[in-house]
Structure 1
Amino acid sequence: MTSEVRLDGKVVIVTGAGGGIGHSIALLMGARGAKVVVNDIGASVSGEGADVGPAQSVATEIRAAGGEAVANTDSVAEAVSANRIVVQALDTFGRIDCVVNNAGILRDRYFHKMSRDEWNAVIKVHLYGAFHVSRAAAPHMREQQGGAFVHMTSTSGLIGNYGQSNYAAAKMGIVGLSKIIALDMHKFNVRSNCISPFAWSRMVGAIPTDTPEQQARVEKVKQMTPDKIAPLAVYLGSDSAAAVNGQVFVVRNNEIMLMSQPRPLRSVQRTEGWTPETIADHAMPAMRASFFDLDRSSDVFCWDPV
């Protein structure tokens, strides 16, 4: 019988923890013994406004259940404020063992209509945010010879989706960031993994429902609650996951999937080299059978969640 997975004595930062997936992760981290820094600026899904209430409410909830937690409302989008999150963890609890990069916003728009502001805002919170908080924590994990990063990615990036070029680019960037953290910090016993969650949240609630197809998609996601994501995040932050590093997982209700990572599928070679014409006549026809379709996430994950 496997022993209970615990995080006693560990200090965990969960960004974007004022609601949804981050809320569930923070609560379970606290219930499993972690001291939790609950970060959330309290902004809207589009990143506007700020309110200390959500972070404070979750921290209070953890303490009421017998855990230890402190609220933080710093933005992950800037290096200086992201560093303050880590400093608060160190000042309050004395160390940092795990960072869950969950904070995010959406500003969906078809690519040919997307503004630079919409692009920059999403990239800064998701990709820059994951970098800033991870970078601030990394030296402390290196010094203590141990730690774990858990980053939230998305099948919008891993597979594709309409109207989310900013979000998809950020989420694929996070996969690359996680892999290099795993490679660079493995010798310090620091791990880095990604979770691609299917769950109802404020961000998913912002998806347009103008068509029957969009309405059906949202109704399907509503069945998948944020508490389904938390167990994997807790496991990845624990010592039980010591051998798990550089991986990408999907959680879809009661399913956990290990995602593939890019590797060569087909190869063609000509001793004399290639010209545009021989590429057209030889290379592309030889590889066409292995081309990927223009799939969206819902095309690949087309079965009902269990």
Structure 2
Amino acid sequence: MTDKKPVQIRMSDYPATGNARDIWRVTHDSLRPVEDGEVLVRLDYISIDPGMRGWITNKRSYMPPVKPGGVMRAFGVGEIVESRATGLAVGDQVTGFTGVQTHGVFKQENLRKVGIPGVPPHTFLSGLGMTGYTGYFGMTDIGQPKEGETVVVSAASGAVGSIAAQIAKLAGARVVGIAGGPDKCSYLIDELGLDAAIDYKKGDISAALNANCPDGIDLYFDNVGGDILSAVLNQMNYQGRIVVCGGISQYGDFASAAGPANFMTVVTHSLSMRGFTMRDYMHRVPEALDWLVPAWKERRIKFREHIVEGIENFPNAFDMIFDGKNHGKLLLKLG
């Protein structure tokens, strides 16, 4: 067993519209004994993701919401410190849905062993983790960018968007990224090598899209929804494709989330529009890793991480991702 008292972040109740600050509770509950087929894990890093807002909303979604009083759902990575499971040994690094806690007892089948020489374990929560897989499958399997096409990616400096944008660039497309603020836009051009960057905070997004996409838009990878989706719809080319990965602009109030007023453009321009989550692709994770790991090692793709330290700072980190204050994949370091 652990020699440190476990710490958990629990959700006390479903939050009021747009406000989750007051629902978090810190507990120090003891761990139950490890049974056959289970392991005790000391968590080192937790992933902070936009999808967390949906997990604490009592509405129909791709997975059940967190129950009041439950440990907040999250992906984590850590080291096994006690094992009664075949194939998982003390010292192994594992990842999975661990929750926001410093230690936990988990069934073997709910974890995946990670460990590649020269690759830090927490990387499997960022570019080599779910966000990397999401960008990979969303762009390669659904978007299918082609050489010479114009591709637009919203939240392009974020964990998912940055991977998707670089994949489109490697496919030979002209890639325009949308991000918030000059620092993030500079990152898109100077570090990721995109062809253009639009700062949505600067004003008329439609005018900026028109200036930067003179031949229209063939493929749009959407992470934000809302007004930006509406602006892009007006400039989509005939038979263009839209990959709907997320809608962070709508996450503050799921019950009142609205589609674009110009949705009929989907009909008039024969557009295809498809949403997805990683639930659709979990059986294909090894395929994503086979591409992402060498691409990262060879610096054909880049990603950055924004690390907040201390489990007690989870509420701040949660707010940060919805305020757009993180630069790269947001992780919570527990140790």
The TM-score by the shorter chain falls in which range? Answer: 0.3 to 0.5
TM-score by length of 1: 0.39
